[in-house]
Amino acid sequence: MNDQLLENVSVPGFKACALFCGIKKQNKDLTVITCEKGAVAAAVFTTNLSKAAPVIVSQENLKQPLVHAVIINSGNANACNGERGLSDAKRTAVKAGELLGVSPSSVLVSSTGIIGVPLPVEKIEAGLEKAMPLLKADGLAEAAQGIMTTDTFRKLAAQSVTLPESGVTVQIVGFSKGSGMIHPNMATMLGFTLTDASIEKDVFQKLQQESTDITFNMISVDGDTSTNDMSLALSSCEAGNPALQPGTKDYEAFREAFIDVQKTLAKLIAKDGEGATKLIQVKINGARTEKDARLLARSVTTSSLVKAAIFGRDANWGRVLCAMGYSGGMFNPDVVDLYFESEFGSIQLMEKGAGLIFDEEKALKILESSTIDIVAQLGEGTASAEAWGCDLTYEYVKINGEYRS
């Protein structure tokens, strides 16, 4: 869906808003999402051992049966701040709980931005007071804007799906942020997916984990897994459908749309990698197992040499095979067919493990595109996987060299 058409998207049961509270020098930096009746929640968090305070607090609060609010600040990660960081994250939840008249344990908190700088929690508390009258049903596009840091555009996606058995139409809206420190294992990646479909917490958690594994866990910008990664799904359960259960047609229809929303967000994050000029889509087909396919695909997206070659429009296919070789995924290099593709055409660079003489001018033209597909046909099985990354540019170094300036 065109980004402009998403301006007024909403999900029954939720309200949201975003505003400037003074954490950043300018631009919106505080986002509030509420569900008055309480939402069923599922989440996947960073595997980084240096977990930020909001991750620790939200993991604990997620044990509650329902979530009434999510408070997100950008510009400060509240990471590596010791006991003060935990206290500030809890203060945020307490303040939101007081203003909404709900338990602080039903409030989740999320932060993104600079690591190791104390959170100006007083500004957040004051901002929350200003935010409450601004909450609105069509505030999700605004919320997507408010969570940005070095992102160059908001990342927002939506699906409306009619469940085939119950006939109920449900809404799914997701938004995320991420541009650098992107290499999730659940980057600085935050993702929020809202729906009104009725679903039980354990079923929702399994779906969220499954979807994360094949969407957000398949992107990389720079190989750095953030301290703050969080992918959160919330359901207001207001659609009125019978609770979704695996194995039913309703569940499969919802699952497909839910994963599609998160996949769209994942690709937008990779496309907006800091300094990026090209989205790289790595497609591994014919692998022995899905695990092998995923390892191979992710390894190619994280290779600095592959990323630099794509930036320079150099069809250096040997770097792709090298990255596959050290991935830990099993494959036979002697039977691989390899292609580079874009809207400008397709070119085969390798056949049955051997390099081909190819048209350099055609390859150069293909690599002019802003979206490049690297396709490997392994011919060893039926498993496949896709991963997304971006090119490595001079601008990436400039952005991260001056990040705290």
**Predicted confidence (pLDDT) per residue in 299-337, tens digit:** 999 999 999 999 999 999 999 999 999 999 999 999 999
Q: Is the pTM of this model over 0.85?
A: yes
In a domain, 87, yes or no: yes
Is 248 in the same domain as 167?
yes
Is 192 in the same domain as 293?
no
Mean per-residue pLDDT, 65-87: 95
Longest dimension (CA), the chain: 69
**The two structure tokens encoding residue 134:** 């601004």
pLDDT at 186 over 50: no
Distance CA 40, CA 244 (A): 13
Q: What is the pLDDT of residues 106-162, one digit of tens each?
A: 999 999 888 899 999 999 999 999 999 999 999 999 999 999 887 888 999 999 999
374 three-state secondary structure: strand
Whether 273 and 180 have beta carbons less than 8 Å apart is answered as yes
Kindly report the number of other CB atoms within 10 A of residue 186's CB atom.
Answer: 21
In a domain, 219, yes or no: yes
Give the CATH number, domain containing residue 176: 3.60.70.12
Is 249 in the same domain as 338?
no
Q: Which of 150, 188, 212, 264 is catalytic?
A: 188
Distance CA 216, CA 212 (A): 5
In a domain, 202, yes or no: yes
Identify the pLDDT of residue 35: 98
Is 249 in the same domain as 344?
no
Domain of residue 44 covers 9-271
301 included as an active-site residue: no
Q: Which residue has the tokens 């709980």?
A: 97
In a domain, 2, yes or no: no
In a domain, 294, yes or no: yes
Q: Over the chain, what is the mean pLDDT?
A: 92
pLDDT band at residue 174 using 50, 70 and 90 as cut-offs: very high
How many domains in the chain? 2
- The domain boundary, picked from 237, 252, 271, lies at 271
In a domain, 3, yes or no: no
Distance CA 1, CA 60 (A): 35
Between helix 82-100 and helix 121-131 the angle, nearest 10°, is 20
